[in-house]
Structure 1
Amino acid sequence: MQRYIEQLIDDIHKATWNLKPPHSLWEESEADPDNELELEDMSFVEQYIEGEKQPIAQITGIGAEQLPPSEKLAIEQRALLAVELEKLLQYFHFVLDFPATLPGHLRYPFIRDFWSEEHVPLSFGENHIEFCDYEVEHCPFPGYCTTCKEVEAQMKYDEERDATGDFDFDFDVDSLLPDLEQLEDIWDARDKIENDDEPDDDPDPNDHSPS
């Protein structure tokens, strides 16, 4: 098996040679991938509007059948393959959102399952892949992930705040209202302008000044 692992890693390295040219929409739009806003907008268009899903095997050039089942690998082999496969996926703009402390050998089964999925390939940017549904009882990374508990605590806090009506605003509402004296000055000035502009209802018949 070790010889096979070495050959597989060599294939993974060679797979980076097959990077495809950017989607035509980048050239047509003349968007700059180094511009953060343009990158975000065009990546969204490419992924959700113009792009077509493809098997991960087709995108990367590594077939799902090439990845051995976890039970046939030693812990060290799983960890090694996890590192190499994550690097390959990042090369093709896929970022797997694992907890930072999750060991490589525990990542490998998730990565192998990911190879059976279909996704839209990106030319630039990052496509983050999440494995968590933010439900503590169904957390896929028990003991390594705190996100589920943090989300649950935030939701509980929001519900309690909504129930009590205790909203904590960081600004003074009164400060948003205009000053009353300023309003009175504005109204007086507006009335004066309107009165000055009103025509005289009883013009002097002896007034022969040109109009």
Structure 2
Amino acid sequence: MQRYVDQLTEDLRTAAHQRRERPRPLADQYFVNEEERQRAELIRHFSDVERYVSGASNSNMYVALGFAPEVFPPAERLTDAQLEALVRDLLDLWAAHRTLADAPEGVPPRLLYPQLLRLMYEDYFDPGDSGYHHLEFCEYEPARCPWPEGLCGCRIDLENFGAAGE
């Protein structure tokens, strides 16, 4: 399994590098002044907004990132070190696609990895070069929270919240 995980992490790193190093559209080179460049950027931005609102370019992250769900082994078959490497490189690929995972600090890779794979099935809009996506794991309903007690703010006992500081 280690050889497979090594190859998968290398593929994730390569995909992240290619995303970061992709060239900007050639048309940007031919704008003769700053005003024309800003106008073209605004048109591109509104085009992205239109694609987002219409759902024209929505798919899931597996499609957008270029990896099939089947390439990711189940967490139960991985060691802690393998999980840590996969989570690190998967999050780096997300960041290369300007997508950030808003998970509570301190979530161990064994808990985070399956949640990352679950989120990758949901609708995803690639922001391109226009901003960032922040993907949250918790819907702030304690009964549906994927994290254990103590890791997520949705599980705060609001009745006793004020009494704790007194």
- Alpha-carbon contact 1:55-1:115 (below 8 Å) kept: yes
Provide TM-score, normalisation by structure 2.
Answer: 0.71
Residue 197 of structure 1: aligned partner: none
Cα 1:46–1:135 change in 2 (3 A) is same
Structure number with higher relative contact order (C-alpha < 8 Å, ≥ 6 residues apart): 2
Whole-Å Cα distance in 2 between the matches of residues 136 and 4 of structure 1?
37
Larger Rg: 1
SS at match of 2:134: strand
Alignment-mate amino acid for residue 30 of structure 1: A
Whole-Å Cα distance in 2 between the matches of residues 29 and 52 of structure 1?
23
Residue 7 of structure 2: aligned partner: 7
Cα 1:18–1:149 change in 2 (3 A) is closer
RMSD of aligned Cα (Å): 3.4
Q: Deviations over 1:83-131 (max 9, x none)?
A: 1101101110111110011122211011122232331111131111111
- Alpha-carbon contact 1:12-1:84 (below 8 Å) kept: yes
Whole-Å Cα distance in 2 between the matches of residues 74 and 18 of structure 1?
28
- Name structure 1 gaps, 5 residues minimum: 33-38, 158-211
Whole-Å Cα distance in 2 between the matches of residues 28 and 58 of structure 1?
31
Residue 87 of structure 1: aligned partner: 92
SS at match of 2:88: helix
- Alpha-carbon contact 2:98-2:132 (below 8 Å) kept: yes
- Name structure 2 gaps, 5 residues minimum: 26-36
Percent same amino acid at aligned positions?
26
Cα 1:68–1:119 change in 2 (3 A) is same
**Among residues 125, 129, 133, which one is paired with 1:127 in the alignment?**
133
